[in-house]
Amino acid sequence: MKVAVVGATGLVGSEILTVLAERNFPVTELIPVASEKSKGKEIEFKGKKYKVVTPAEAIALQPQVALFSAGGGTSTEFAPQYAEAGITVVDNSSAWRMDPSKKLVVPEVNGDVLTASDKIIANPNCSTIQMVVVLKPLHEKYKIKRVVVSTYQSVTGTGVKAVNQLMDERAGKDGEKAYPYPIDLNVIPHIDVFQDNGYTKEEMKMIKETNKIMGDESIRVTATTVRIPVMGGHSESVNIEFESDFDVTEVRELLAAQEGVIVVDDPANLKYPMPKDAHGKDEVLVGRIRRDESQDKTLNLWIVADNLRKGAATNAVQIAELLSKRGLI
């Protein structure tokens, strides 16, 4: 299968290449795609070298699938051109996520919605992906009424510039800034731009995307998203109110049986998920599972995942795997 990776030289694009190799996706020819300034650069994949081409040039090479991770502007301009040429696009930007004509997919949650006619498929926001994988079995069993989520997100979610800012500050050096404030030894309760309602765009993404992926507008979600000085891995404190009551032991069993989830919940032995444990893993880790004693039918959870993998690259590759397995590409 001919596979194009658009944004192949970026943080997520590089991770997509790693995940494609690790999961043995059936790539017969890789087409690494980046901006004009990276044209001609060589990318190594599974021992072979491939030259970087521009987004326009890649269309003529006719890949069956194109995994986009080059920002909303590139996706808005080129994804329709790829789709028009019969190429299936899995897009990691926010460009198409809330478009009612496009599917927003986490394979373990709603992979069954995909059809051969879906030529532009949206990959959700990283913090939404890890949460809905955990919510799915609980919603099926107890029906979720409301979710309150606070996130603790890695600088890798912003990109290379933010990683450099953190490392420069840690080394006591001046350098280019990704954030309006220092991030080392600090916490910034501000991800993406503020909206008129006082929420940030990242917070509104989590709210709207959760409803769309879960296929249930009745689930009420409120979010506070926070950037912390961690190099990789997003963490979330999640409070879930259900319509039906639950048994905590059964909750653990449901989560342990959910595809893509690993339960790490043994506080007596100080076992709980941390970003360093999620690093390089495709699964979502969940722990600190306990009843909210302030309110009936309400549960507290702590969810951690590698934001560059399950939060971005792995989910995109899993969508491509699903399409391939079902003969949709």
pLDDT digits (tens, 9 = 90+) for 40-77: 999 999 999 999 999 999 999 999 999 999 999 999 99
The predicted structure's pLDDT at residue 224 = 98
CA-CA distance, 212 to 320, in Å (whole number)? 20
pLDDT of the residue at 234: 98
Q: Is 86 exposed, middle or buried (0-12, 13-18, 19+ CB in 10 A)?
A: exposed
Annotated binding site for NADP(+): 9-12, 37-38, 307
Query: Do residues 200 and 194 lie in contact, with contact meaning Cβ atoms separated by under 8 Å?
Result: yes
Q: Enumerate the known binding-site residues.
A: 9-12, 37-38, 97, 153, 227, 307
pLDDT of residue 141: 98
Residue 190 known to be catalytic: no
pLDDT at 308: 94
* Numbered residues of the known binding site for phosphate: 97
Tell me the pLDDT tens digit for each residue of 143-162: 999 999 999 999 999 999 99
* pLDDT tens sequence for the chain (329 residues): 999 999 999 989 999 999 999 999 999 999 999 998 999 999 999 999 999 999 999 999 999 999 999 999 999 999 999 999 999 999 999 999 999 999 999 999 999 999 999 999 999 999 999 999 999 999 999 999 999 999 999 999 999 999 999 999 999 999 999 999 999 999 999 999 999 999 999 999 999 999 999 999 999 999 999 999 999 899 999 999 999 999 999 999 999 999 999 999 999 999 999 999 999 999 999 999 999 999 999 999 999 999 999 999 999 999 999 999 999 99
The residue among 149, 152, 146, 98 whose CA lies nearest residue 122 is 98
Asked if 231 and 162 touch (Cβ cutoff 8 Å), the reply is no
Rounded-to-integer distance, Cα 71 and Cα 91, Å: 9
What's residue 281's pLDDT? 96
pLDDT at 319: 98
Q: Which of 126, 139, 190, 279 is catalytic?
A: 126
Residues contacting 240, CB < 8 A, separation 6+: 135, 138, 144, 146, 147, 298, 299, 300, 301
What is the pLDDT, as a whole number, of residue 128? 98
Active site residue 126: yes
The active-site residue out of 139, 190, 234, 279 is 234
120-122 β-sheet, strand order: 29-33, 2-6, 65-68, 88-91, 120-122, 103-104
Q: What is the pTM of this model?
A: 0.95
Residue 274 tokens, joined? 């941390």
pLDDT for res 267: 97
> What whole-number distance in Å separates Cα of residue 39 and Cα of residue 261?
39
pLDDT of residue 223: 98
